């Protein structure tokens, strides 16, 4: 396995397949319908515009096993030191520690980019994801009860955060 920087040309189709499987079969994404191939163009453009990493783990044969990224937490200037992250692993490769590798590398990237807080929004029933984030130092910071409705039930959204020691000299404006 290899940790890589994903590109639209090489990885958009595989990322889309992983996302769409999660949309259709889980509450990892509070989306109802699979996304279109065209949606990946804007997704990658947004990541590039914000200088946000898109990391992947590929097998020795080149198959994308999982990916992770982060992006804008909220679109107001004072949140400039906070990012919201996402990590997804292909259904056939879960439980092998890939999410941990991706999350650790995202933490490294966020620190290098002088972010201060990383936020994870996780479905309250996703105990595996919650345990992973806690293992890497994230702390519980709140619940929005019944934030979503999917699969004929209300879904509670929990927030976890990791406070980084960066930036050394934060500035207003």
> Stretch 37-57: mean pLDDT, rounded?
97
- Token code pair at residue 7: 């590109």
**Whole-angstrom Cα distance, residue 64 to residue 28?**
19
**Whole-angstrom Cα distance, residue 30 to residue 131?**
20
**Could you tell me the CATH number of the domain that includes residue 131?**
3.40.630.30
Domain count, the chain: 1
Q: Give residue 108's domain range.
A: 2-163
Each residue's pLDDT tens digit, 86-119:
999 999 999 999 999 999 999 999 999 999 999 9
Q: What is the pLDDT of residue 173?
A: 86
Query: 60 in a domain, yes or no?
Result: yes
Each residue's pLDDT tens digit, 125-147:
999 999 999 999 999 999 999 99
Query: 139 in a domain, yes or no?
Result: yes
Is the overall model pTM greater than 0.85, yes or no?
A: yes
Query: 72 in a domain, yes or no?
Result: yes
- Token code pair at residue 102: 């991706």
**Whole-angstrom Cα distance, residue 128 to residue 99?**
10
Closest CA to 149 of 31, 25, 19: 31
């Amino acid at each position: 396995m290899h940790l890589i920087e994903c590109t639209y040309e090489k990885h958009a189709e595989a990322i889309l397949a992983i996302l769409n499987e999660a949309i259709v079969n889980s509450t990892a994404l509070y989306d109802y319908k699979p996304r279109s191939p065209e949606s990946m163009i804007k997704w990658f453009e947004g990541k590039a515009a914000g200088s946000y990493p898109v990391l992947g783990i590929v097998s020795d044969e080149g198959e994308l096993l999982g990916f992770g990224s982060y992006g804008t937490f909220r679109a107001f200037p004072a949140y400039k030191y906070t990012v919201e992250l996402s990590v997804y692993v292909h259904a056939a490769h879960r439980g092998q520690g890939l999410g941990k590798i991706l999350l650790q590398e995202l933490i490294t990237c966020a620190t290098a980019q002088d972010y201060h807080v990383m936020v994870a929004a996780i479905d309250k029933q996703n105990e595996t994801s919650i345990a992973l984030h806690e293992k890497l130092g994230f702390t519980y910071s709140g619940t929005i009860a019944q934030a979503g409705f999917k699969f004929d039930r209300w879904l509670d959204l929990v927030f976890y955060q990791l406070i980084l020691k960066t930036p050394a000299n934060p500035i207003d404006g």
